[in-house]
Amino acid sequence: MENLCMQACPSRRSKAYSGSDMKLLFCHDHVFSFYRGNYYSPGKLDYKKFDVYLEKFSHITCIARARQVESIDNNYHQANGNLVDIVGLENPSSLWGLLNRRVLKRVIRDHIRKVDAVIVRLPSEIGIIAAQLAQEEGKPLLAEVVASAFDCLWYRGDILAKIYAPFLELRTAHVCETIPLLTYVTSNFLQSKYATQGCSYAISDVIINEVLLPRRWINKSSFTVGMIGNPDLKIKGLVTLIEAIQQIRSKGVDVNLEVLGGNGHGYMLRNGDVPGWVTFLGTFSNPGKVIGWLDQIDFYVQPSLTEGLPRSLIEAMSRGMPALGSNVGGIPELLLEAALFAPCDSKQLANSLFKAMVCPTHYDELAKHSSETANKFNSKVLLQSRLDVLDKLSSLV
């Protein structure tokens, strides 16, 4: 899909943020949708996400996966634009990608030679290939480590992913070891898996602009629990949350569940229809609408089977509400031990959630912890930390 690369981009900035003429290559396995000459993303890597990099670099080329589509969802946002080009490739792990690995490497190497520095986001196949080629070409290199390679594949569900999971884990660990500059979204978890001989920094990619005071317990007869995540992905753990709420409802407590992140069609194909107290909200393109929804729910639960440092959990905690999560990835770095439960353990989750509903002191303790933790993700502090790392990268040019 290399030939689908944007040729003429709509101008959305009159000039670059940075005063330099340095060009950056950003590489990741993100899947863009290619529609009528432009690339679109559901939000994880849209045009605005490149703003911080344009503070230090004059132009960005992003190499990622892409697929051509016949229509585009209203919740998707354009990713390419003035100063940002997208190069869409086939999946390197597909049969075509494996048979044409030399072609993929040649495309990536050609783009590496045209830029001054390279950033790879790991784990990703394109990221690993680009990191190795950038080192061969002697280009300044930064890796952003955002998740566990093994967990992402192992909990995806299909047998091929499980077979390949340990190999991707080893490849990711090997490439991280020699990269001179790394950032991790966690404080400890990912660092323990992917050690490096270079310089490393713990910088979350979550930025919080507002933190509310902790909520106080109110004696209520009805509760709404919220979760953010694509319900069709098994790794998001929705089955566990539904089972847990069913157990609480069996005690006579009126509990409803709202899931933001998809329409749930894939989930229901696998598991059958959901109870009437479960609502799939789809996706919200407006961040303000997400915040408004968070302010209306009573509890937030992150029941994932694997996570890096979940943005949605931190955003929920910033609203001062009690939050619970599975003890995987970086989640234990965010929550009190009393708010953690083993992945897939619906009974433990039900007991913890029920206690927060009926025990005022426990509720208040969790809510207080949410606000205190979210304050650590102050937007100004984290933005400056990211800019400092980009300064270090640009100084190597």
φ, ψ (nearest 5 deg) of residue 313: -65, -45
**pLDDT above 80 (res 157):** no
Sign of the four-CA dihedral 363, 364, 367, 373: negative
Query: 74: which 2 tokens?
Result: 């209203």
pTM for the full predicted model:
0.83
Q: What percent of the chain has pLDDT over 70?
A: 95
In angstroms, the CA 212 to CA 10 distance is 38
Fold equal for 2-207+380-395 and 222-377: yes
Instruction: Give the count of alpha carbons within 13 A of 207, CB side only.
Output: 13
Class of domain 222-377 (CATH, top level) = alpha beta
Residue 19: predicted pLDDT: 54
Confidence of residue 173 (pLDDT cuts 50, 70, 90): very high
* Predicted pLDDT of residue 4: 38
pLDDT value of position 13: 42
**pLDDT tens column, 292-321:** 999 999 999 999 998 989 999 999 999 999
pLDDT tens column, 18-53: 557 899 999 999 999 999 999 999 877 889 899 999
Contact yes or no for 90/97 (Cβ under 8 A): yes
pLDDT digits (tens, 9 = 90+) for 238-275: 999 999 999 999 999 999 999 999 999 999 989 999 99
Backbone angles phi, psi at 183, to 5 degrees: -125, 145
Longest dimension (CA), the chain: 65
- pLDDT for residue 360 is more than 90: yes
Indicate the pLDDT class of residue 3, thresholds 50, 70 and 90: very low
From CA 135, how far away is CA 178, in angstroms rounded?
A: 9
pLDDT of residue 224 exceeding 50: yes
pLDDT at 132: 98
Query: Phi, psi (5° rounding) for residue 19?
Result: -95, 0
Tokens 């753990």 — which residue? 237
d(CA 30, CA 167): 20
CATH of 2-207+380-395, picked from 3.50.50.60, 3.30.70.100, 3.40.50.2000, 3.60.15.10, is: 3.40.50.2000
Query: Judging by DSSP bridges, how do beta strands 117-122 and 141-145 pair with one another?
Result: parallel
Tokens describing residue 269:
């194909």
DSSP state of 284: -
Q: Which of 10, 6, 102, 116 is nearest to 63 (CA)?
A: 6
DSSP assignment string, 109-163: HHHHHTSSEEEEEES-HHHHHHHHHHHHTT--EEEEE-S-HHHHHHTT-SHHHHH
Domain locations in the chain as residue ranges: 2-207+380-395, 222-377
